[in-house]
Amino acid sequence: MQHAQHQALVGLIWNIANKLRGPYRPPQYRKVMLPLIVLRRLDLVLEPTKDKVIQAAKEFKAKGIKDKALEKALSRVAVGAGRTQPLYNTSKFTFRKLLDDPDNIASNLVSYIHAFSPRAKDIFDKFEFEAEIHRLDESERLYLIIKEICAFDIDLSPKNISNMQMGYLFEELVRKFNEQA
């Protein structure tokens, strides 16, 4: 990604963050935007194996496989398609499908996050993101922010942004959000 594209993407994300104004002050934007950016990236990274993982989860559970054995088995299914990280999500939702049910978007988003592999769930626990989901929903900003992040001009997929470039993007966002604090 060229510097100009990088800066444009940072600008687009910052413009979305500005829609939090009111219920959030600029120094608080990071509480929402950083976990949502990570969530969107994971959603796009897991997209190629999502259907296989969901089907495998049903089959493994029907065979009585559970707990750590289920996690290991699903991790092996998720690693397909050239990926090296054993992360997965067993939810019927994708980030974009959350938009199909605006009235239940908060509960569906929480359910979606809980369906991630333990390693990924741990990330969102550390962000303490569930409280922010409810705050966003109460202020009627959750649907709007998710819709904006799903826009086609914010493509965080691995085919568009390498892991290294994603790291730089995240680092720049952290810097920008910290400047506000």
Place of tokens 């819709």: 147
pLDDT at 73 over 90: no
pLDDT per residue as tens digits for the range 98-126: 999 999 999 999 999 999 999 899 999 99
pLDDT at 82 over 70: no
Q: Tokens representing 133?
A: 């989901």
pTM of the model: 0.89
Strand-pairing partners, residue 156, are none
Q: How confident is the model at residue 84 (pLDDT cuts 50, 70, 90)?
A: low
